[in-house]
Structure 1
Amino acid sequence: MGEITLHLPDQLIERAQQAGLLNTETIAEVLSLALGDEASGVPPLPIRSIRSFFDQIHDAVFLLDLNGRHFAANERAVDMFGYTVEEIYTKSALELSGEPEATDNVMGRLLAGEHVPMLKRWMRHKSGALFPVEVTAQLVRDSEGKPAYIQSIVRDITEHIQSEQRIRDAESLLRTIINAVPNHIFARDGEGRYVIANEAAAQIVGSTVDEIIGKTDFDFGVPAAAQIRAEDADVLRVGEPRTILEDEFIDPRGERHLYSTTKVPIKLPGTNIDAVLCVSTDISPLKQMQADLHEAVRQAYALETERQRVTILAKFIQDTSHEFRTPLSIIGTSVYLLRRSSDEARRDDHARVANDQINRITRLLDHLQAMAELDADVDFHRQAVNINHLLRDLRSHFAALCERREIRFDCAFDNTIPTIIGDPVRLSEACSQLIDNALRHTDSGGSVVITTARNHGGISIEVRDTGVGIHPDALPHIFDRFWRQDEARTTPGFGLGLPIAQRIIERHGGKITVDSRVDAGSVFTVHLPSVSPE
């Protein structure tokens, strides 16, 4: 029969091309045009026009007779299965199927008049390889209602299946990673129900990942469930992340845990549901480690303190025994000579020597007692003190000694300095120690000068001498107890004067600075605030 050039209606072609609208009804509509309608005088469409339409379809389209053999197929079917059109015509539906029994069952159901929904099946390529498809099949009847043929649309879903598998693999990998993380990772919706949880989060409430979903902390008997619910609600209300550095959690077993928790408001994927994503790190081991470290440091400090105490005590015994031994030896000798001498003048000399050594021991004991009191932080009797008056009294006290040793003792007082608040007895003792130190290290013909001045917020006292000076290596040690630059102890002193002075001045909120050069003398400067701390 000859062909008449006839084009399909544009709206029908457009309908077939639209994704998701291609179905068996569309095919049937085209085929009805292809067959024509004698009653209404509509002529059948030419084969070329029908072929043009079907080749525009992106799915494989088959027409099968009632025995299941193909008598029509489009180009997509050729590409999908690897056969030529002629080869497809020689094949039955069972031969192209990767599941012949299932396909035969579908054919039977269609011929029985049953509507068969879209199915997922495996098809076989010409190469023998199987590939997944979605199949829609429909029995088409003629104008008398008798079965005419079967039309089938086949969509290759290999890429779709692969995409789904990649998604499943990614989800599985993500789940594996989340479960491997020791942190507790979970999310609760606005009603407090768990919607996400890793194994660590589930275990802490005595559950599993599958069982915890959809349940709340109330279901697991968490003591602070109401407080947790309120905190989550506040995070959702504010809409900003929140970090709780130390979040205490009592589990259903009553065990205490300490976490650092970050809460972030989120929208669950694919929904409009608000939830709070939580990541909690158990810091209980860290806190215990810190406590253990603190205890270790405390013990180490205690041991070091005890070691230093023993060292100081040993040095104290060594130094004091030397300081006591010398005067006691002199006293013993003087008493021995005193008892054996009948000369009154000699007896007086021996008694004077013994008395001087007794005074020396007394001064040592006074220094030791003063140091002990300062170490014990005994109360100071604070009152208004005029430093110039205090220093004038000390000048009078040392005047005879300076005259005897031929040392010039001068003072230069600033009469504008303010009165300070302090303990006059202790301040006098501190200044006395500094003056005594200057005189002991200054030779005959030298000088000691005391000056006072006003400075920012207080006053300064300067004790300057022209003595032997202090070696730079010795400067860091001059305030150490019992330390003496003269290790041979040829100069008088116990090595306690400067430590006593420093402690008293520090108790008044001040400090002592030193500037010294060997063979050029030293300058000790006391800095005191107007009002010393209590």
Structure 2
Amino acid sequence: MRIKTKLSLGTGFLFIVILIFGILSMASINRLKNDAGMILQNNYETLVYCNSMIDALDKMNGDTSYQRVFEENLFKQQKNITEPGENEATQQVSRNFALLKQAPANDSLKVSIRQALHQINFYNHTAIFRKNDNAARTAEMANTWLMVIFSLLILITFTLVVNLPGVISRPVISLTDGIRSIVNKDYSKRIHLKQNDEFGELAIAFNIMAEKLDDYEHSNLARIKFEKSRIETIINVMNDGIVGLDEKRNILFLNAVAQKLIGLNGEDIAGKYAPDIALTNDLMRTLMQDDGKQQELKIYADNKESYFHVESLAVRNSGKMIGEVIVLRNITPFHELNEAKTNFIATVSHELKTPISSIKIGAQLLSDQRLGGVNDEQKELVKGINEDADRLLKITGELLNMSQLETGHIQLKAEPVSCLDIVEEAIHSVQFIIQQKNIRLGKEISPNLPLVIADKDKTSWVLTNFLTNAVKHSQNGGEIVLEAESVDGRVQFRVKDFGKGIEEKFLPRIFDRYYRVPEHLTSAGSGLGLTIAKEFIEAQGGRVWVKSMPGAGSTFGFDLPQTG
């Protein structure tokens, strides 16, 4: 039976019983009212009429006014005859009263009339007692029925109060317990309700859902275990050290390489707080420090000095951090290759510098008129040889500088230097190419600039590189601006051109080694100048930056700490 049907039947039955109780109560009250009305109207009024006629009869003695009173009450009595025998007595009173009017002095007629009236009073007194008994019995019967119905209502109400909440609450409690079990991933929970109503259907649907979840959980569990085993195998065979932490920085796992580097067994420290392990382990302490992330570490491993790049990866789920993976990437082979490349470049650059210088000297001698004249075509060839020799010398110089930077053999002569000396030396170096392209050089140099702590030659080289690039990327007859000012205890040098500019997506890599903006690949260059400039400035405690907008030109700048 449906819950709605149960509730409808229960409340409907209660409504019918209450309705019957109300109807019976109203009927009993109306019956008592009618009985009382009948006593008052029929019997009591007759007693009043008879007593009035007896009183008028005693006072009549020929007085016509009492005759009229007697006649009026007799008339009313004739209209109010209700009891057996009352009609004959009333007719007798009427006949005798008619005879009395003809013989007023006849006392026997008065006695006869008085007896008849007393007879009528007796009939009505008897009726009053009888009707009163009937009313009492009616009231008692109504009271009995009302008590029975009231008791029945109390019993039904008590039954509903006790049972109805349980009919609804018991299935709800069972369903709530089942849902809690599902939340706790106990998919074996089942609900057994032997009810053919909505709760029964809900229990069946719940059991089907739990069964499907149980099947899904068991099928996924095997797959998850397999995937976990496969991932652990992959992690363990990797050449990189991997350390897994949870969101509270407790150690989850270490692969074989990480265990070897750290010198600890992964099973012994699994589940322990990583900073506690770091108290007694130098490498773990370095990994736990914020400045130990995204840097290279030199570790003695495999009986040699090895290099590892430390990288920390946050593991997130729906934006919430649930763990961290620290990767110690083995970059020793790259260091070895890079060192070999640097040595090769340094050797080749050094060996090339001497013959290139000889070629340049030979070209200059060919241009000397004292050794003989040359025609115009030969002059162009000699000019080309000079330009190519200059370009090769510049490239070999940059390669030598780069090899010094990579090997850490760069030698800086940091001392207080005049900013104007740096500016003037750079301008002098580019004066020839500025005149060739008819470039206007604007100078916005703040007066009384303080001295800076720098290597004059290398700083002038950086500023010369910026100016050379600005001239190279400016139109003939264009303009470049050289600015220098003191800002917050540092002197800033800026070179601004009004050429094509650089797209924003290329700016982050503009100082990378060998990187050249795709739009500028046709121009001559090695892609090392800006890299060397950045290394020179940062080695002196300075900063390098670039700002550019396509179509509006570029601004390259650096700053150095000032003295005092």
TM-score clears 0.5 = no
TM-score range, shorter chain: 0.3 to 0.5
* TM-score computed with the length of structure 1 as normaliser: 0.39
Select the structure that is richer in strand: 1
* TM-score computed with the length of structure 2 as normaliser: 0.37
Structure ID, larger Rg? 2
Select the structure that is richer in helix: 2
